[in-house]
Amino acid sequence: MARRYFGTDGVRGRVGEHPMTVDFALRLASAAARVLAPQGGGTVLIGKDTRVSGYLFESALEAGFVAAGVNVKLIGPLPTPGIAYMTQRLGCNFGVVISASHNAFEDNGIKFFDGAGAKLSDAIEEAIEAIIDEPPVTRDSRQLGRAVRLEKAIDDYGAFCRGTLPPGMNLEGMKVVVDCANGAGYKVAPRVLADLGAEIIPIGCSPNGRNINAGCGSTAPDLLQLTVLGTQSHVGIALDGDGDRLVMVDHLGRLVDGDQLLFILARARHAAGALPGPVVGTLMSNLGLEQSLTRLGIPFRRAAVGDRYVLAVLREEGGVLGGETSGHLLCLDRTTTGDGLVSALQVLAVMQETGQSLAQLASDMPKYPQVMINVRTPQRLDVNGNAAIQAATAAAERRLAAAGRVVLRASGTEPVIRVMVEASDLETAQREAETLAAVVRAAV
């Protein structure tokens, strides 16, 4: 069944445009309640990021769940992984996050976790979609759910994050710039780092409902790079708007992306004999990551783009470590879902254990230059079914041979076709990417 609304990370879109409207959110809550709590009863945890539109979707979802007989716990702004953790900790039947992650404030989204803090399966999302166009259910007064707003969730989640470090370890002596993208991590991330003894310099920690991801965070790390250099800090940490992604900056002001962070964690766990199964990346993971892991004798697998697919391969093959170039890392030996703050703590732990800087740790993974061009598409385009695009892709692959890769795919979160070319030098990657992007634009 082709899914109409759920993408790689829930339902997402421009606020006020279908499906991100109040009436759709109400119907989505009602449909989810009938699938996930078919007899009524049960409890859902609802959290959000800092977007101003979060208030309206929170109210609509609350109404839909309560009307369907499901109890609601409202947790307010907290990183997506924190909501996953608290769903499990509080014994809720499922959890809901209101967030559009790294997108601008004009967008918003709704995504779900099951009672174990894991993302819903495709089959469950399809079951929800199958009844989403039906009118919302309203049970009689005796069967209605109740709603309550929780306090101190940040304290519980912060304690969990601190507990992912090795016993007795702290961050004393580290000067850390932390950029929370004016998003969901703006309170908890600085607090956790400070509690562990780090000297912190917070930026992107003053949300106003409209500045989430605006010139800050993991998708716009320029300010972080300048701040690390200007303050002579040891390291910089950048989360995205909902706190599930991480990129870092070394003391020289250089960006360290998800592939490099994954390599650092994999090598450290491998050396400690604590790396079962393969490391899992995606189709977009840098060829340098694969080659560097192979040299260490660490098996590497590629999944489709999206952390849910990385997670599926990890579970199938018994792995614990995987992620995406964008910084969505999975440390299943620490938590159930991608968590930017937990991932950052794992990297900081490696720095403390080895006495090496982030620059030194990242230097052992050479990166192939990658060029990504996003081609906007007003309508759905099947790149695999277009003869011109396939011919141009095959020609590029022949020219690159073993010294590069080509990936074309439709984004699961934005109306774009992503054209990525990887080559041994930047000039070649740029030329091939522009050639392919021109073909895709012509097809659009």
Of the listed ranges 181-185, 190-194, 299-303, 413-417, the least confidently predicted one is: 413-417
The partner residues of 72 in beta bridges, in order of sequence, read: 44, 147
**CA dist., res. 428 & res. 257, Å (int):** 22
Share of residues in the chain with pLDDT > 90 (%): 89
2-36 confidence digits (pLDDT tens): 678 998 789 999 999 999 999 999 999 999 999 99
Q: What is the mean pLDDT of the chain?
A: 95
**Quick check: 354 pLDDT over 90?**
yes
The model's confidence at residue 401, banded by pLDDT at 50, 70 and 90, is confident
Query: What is the predicted pLDDT for the residue at 40?
Result: 82
The model's confidence at residue 444, banded by pLDDT at 50, 70 and 90, is confident
Query: What is the predicted pLDDT for the residue at 2?
Result: 65
148-159 confidence digits (pLDDT tens): 999 889 999 999
Q: What integer is the mean pLDDT of 379-393?
A: 86
Query: What is the predicted pLDDT for the residue at 7?
Result: 86
Q: Which fold has domain 370-443?
A: TATA-Binding Protein (3.30.310)
Q: Going along 60-204, which residue ranges are E strands?
A: 71-77, 94-98, 107-114, 147-149, 175-179, 199-203
**Quick check: 64 pLDDT over 70?**
yes
Q: How far apart are the first and last CA of the chain?
A: 25
Q: Which fold has domain 11-151?
A: Alpha-D-Glucose-1,6-Bisphosphate; Chain A, domain 3 (3.40.120)
Query: What is the predicted pLDDT for the residue at 1?
Result: 53
Q: What integer is the mean pLDDT of 101-110?
A: 96
**Quick check: 411 pLDDT over 90?**
no
Query: What is the predicted pLDDT for the residue at 380?
Result: 72
For the chain, domain boundaries? 11-151, 156-234, 256-362, 370-443
Q: What integer is the mean pLDDT of 130-152?
A: 95
- Using CA of residue 235, residue 236, residue 242, residue 244, what is the dihedral sign? negative
Count the helix, strand and coil residues of the chain and give each as a percent rounded to the nearest 5. Answer: 40, 20, 40
**CA dist., res. 437 & res. 234, Å (int):** 39
**Quick check: 198 pLDDT over 60?**
yes
Domains 156-234 and 256-362 share a fold: yes
Query: What is the predicted pLDDT for the residue at 348?
Result: 98
Task: Count Cβ atoms within 10 A of the Cβ of residue 391 and give its class: 0-12 exposed, 13-18 middle, 19 or more buried.
Answer: exposed
Query: What is the predicted pLDDT for the residue at 368?
Result: 94
Q: What integer is the mean pLDDT of 91-99?
A: 97
Give φ, ψ of 393 to 5 degrees: -65, -45
Selecting from 3.40.120.10, 3.40.710.10, 3.40.50.1970, 3.40.50.880, what CATH number does the domain 156-234 have? 3.40.120.10
Which residues does the annotation mark as catalytic?
101
- Provide the 10 A C-beta neighbour count for residue 279: 28
The partner residues of 96 in beta bridges, in order of sequence, read: 46, 112
258-316 confidence digits (pLDDT tens): 999 999 999 999 999 999 999 999 998 999 999 999 999 999 999 998 888 999 999 99
What superfamily does domain 256-362 belong to in CATH? Alpha-D-Glucose-1,6-Bisphosphate, subunit A, domain 3 (3.40.120.10)
106 DSSP assignment:
T
The model's confidence at residue 413, banded by pLDDT at 50, 70 and 90, is low
